[in-house]
Amino acid sequence: MGYLRLLLLPFSAIYGAAVWLRNCFYNWGWLKQTAFDIPVIVVGNLAVGGTGKSPMIEYLIRLLAPEYPVATLSRGYGRSTRGFREVQLTDTAAESGDEPLQFKRKFPEITVAVCEDRVAGVRRLQALGHRVILLDDAFQHRALKPGLAILLFDYNHMRTPKWLLPAGNYRDWFSARRRADVLIVTKTPDTATAEDKATIRKQLTVTPEDIPLWFAGIDYGKLLRASPVGDGTVLLDADTAVLLVTGIANPEPLHRYLAARVGEVVHLRYADHHPYSSSDMQRVKNRYAAIPNSRKIIVTTEKDSQRLFAPPHAAVFDGLPVYVLPIRFTLERQEAHAFQQRVLQYCADTLRQP
């Protein structure tokens, strides 16, 4: 794999030149950026893959929804529909995308929308009376000028080369972090030392007085029953076997979490946003049946559950103990207070302007 990446470096140079020119055109004003007079918060990353954008959006919903009419706006990756669409509880992931559907089902009281054109989407939501709009994965959508840009980095990947696609995993130059208003290193383990954090801080810090940097972790909740089989309580111990089914960008932290708590983890790993088919469902059922342990369950993510339990193939899970493991974004108390105040102050200041 290392040699293949080296062979792809010339293509990364071409890609990087195109990204650099595009950013320059926006920075010089040759391409138009649209700003809004309401709080527009963008959550994004520079690398492809999971850095925890969805848990961050949910964190912001919990913070802001009690205070403001909040809406979320996503592209709706993998959906079959086009244009602006307000996500409904009765939607399928094919109609609205798995992550927007997850937001809507967890927070049915807020408006969740999808639109490829983020500027047009924000305009529609603003016209509907929403006062705060959260944009999921829109840091590279330069046509929209965010009021507050939150940029996420995965702690586990900070020591890897910052190469651009296709040789590396970065879709924008590492220097693009200067456009952010807040930098957050996600998935920080409890074992991270002050020295480890200092090394990463030195790597990321641009202007400490302008771009605050915080470290965040992830917290897994209680398993939620996703099928009528079982009594809703599960004991994760050395006598339990888990069939883990994932179609997310980075399932390693989840795999490690389960492997530290159960006797065996059998992992069926699919690509991010994988559109599960009936044959995939049958494969899951067959792999579950092949596990000899009598104490066994199937575990998946909240995001995957939006696709796994969609008709018509969800019936394959009838009679199987399937559970969903929720995930939450966490900050230490002092850092959580500072971050929340940064977000709340931005919203208050923006809405106070005439």
What secondary structure does DSSP assign to 124-167, as a single string?
HHHHTT-SEEEEES-TT-TTB--SEEEEEEEGGGTTS--PBTTT
- Asked whether 218 and 250 are in contact (CB, 8 A), the reply is no
Query: What is residue 287's predicted lDDT score, i.e. its pLDDT?
Result: 95
Query: What is residue 283's predicted lDDT score, i.e. its pLDDT?
Result: 92
Query: What is residue 209's predicted lDDT score, i.e. its pLDDT?
Result: 64
305: CB partners within 8 A, 6+ apart: 102, 226, 324
Query: What is residue 224's predicted lDDT score, i.e. its pLDDT?
Result: 87
Query: What is residue 261's predicted lDDT score, i.e. its pLDDT?
Result: 94
In the chain, which segments carry CATH 3.40.50.300? 2-218+330-352
Query: What is residue 3's predicted lDDT score, i.e. its pLDDT?
Result: 74
- Asked whether 299 and 223 are in contact (CB, 8 A), the reply is yes
Query: What is residue 225's predicted lDDT score, i.e. its pLDDT?
Result: 86
- Specify the CATH number of the domain 2-218+330-352: 3.40.50.300
Residue 334 CB neighbours (<10 A): 9
Q: What is the distance between the alpha carbons of residues 219 and 221, in angstroms, rounded to a whole number?
A: 6
Tokens of 334: 């002092």
Per-residue pLDDT of the chain (354 residues; tens, 9 = 90+): 567 778 889 999 999 999 999 999 999 999 999 999 999 999 999 998 778 899 999 999 999 999 999 999 999 988 999 999 999 999 999 999 999 999 999 999 999 999 999 999 999 999 999 999 999 999 999 999 999 999 999 998 898 889 999 999 999 999 999 999 999 999 999 899 999 999 999 999 866 567 899 999 989 988 888 765 445 567 788 999 999 999 998 899 899 999 999 999 999 999 998 988 888 988 999 999 999 998 999 999 999 999 888 777 677 777 888 999 999 989 988 899 999 999 999 999 999 876
Query: What is residue 208's predicted lDDT score, i.e. its pLDDT?
Result: 52
Overall fold of domain 222-325: Rossmann fold (3.40.50)
Query: What is residue 308's predicted lDDT score, i.e. its pLDDT?
Result: 87
Residue 180 CB neighbours (<10 A): 24
Query: What is residue 161's predicted lDDT score, i.e. its pLDDT?
Result: 87
Question: In the chain, which ranges are E strands?
Answer: 40-45, 70-74, 85-86, 111-114, 132-136, 148-154, 182-186, 213-220, 224-225, 241-246, 264-269, 296-301, 322-325, 327-331
Best CA proximity match to 155, nearest among 269, 250, 41, 273: 250
Query: What is residue 333's predicted lDDT score, i.e. its pLDDT?
Result: 85
Best CA proximity match to 216, nearest among 18, 51, 22, 94: 51
- In the chain the first and final C-alpha atoms are separated, in Å, by 55
- CA neighbours within 13 Å on the CB side: how many for 36? 27
Query: What is residue 71's predicted lDDT score, i.e. its pLDDT?
Result: 98
Query: What is residue 62's predicted lDDT score, i.e. its pLDDT?
Result: 97
Instruction: List phi, psi (to 5°) of 293.
Output: -65, 135
Query: What is residue 228's predicted lDDT score, i.e. its pLDDT?
Result: 52
Beta-bridge partner residues of 182: 150
Interhelix angle 53-64/333-352, nearest 10 degrees: 60
Instruction: List phi, psi (to 5°) of 213.
Output: -130, 125
Query: What is residue 231's predicted lDDT score, i.e. its pLDDT?
Result: 52
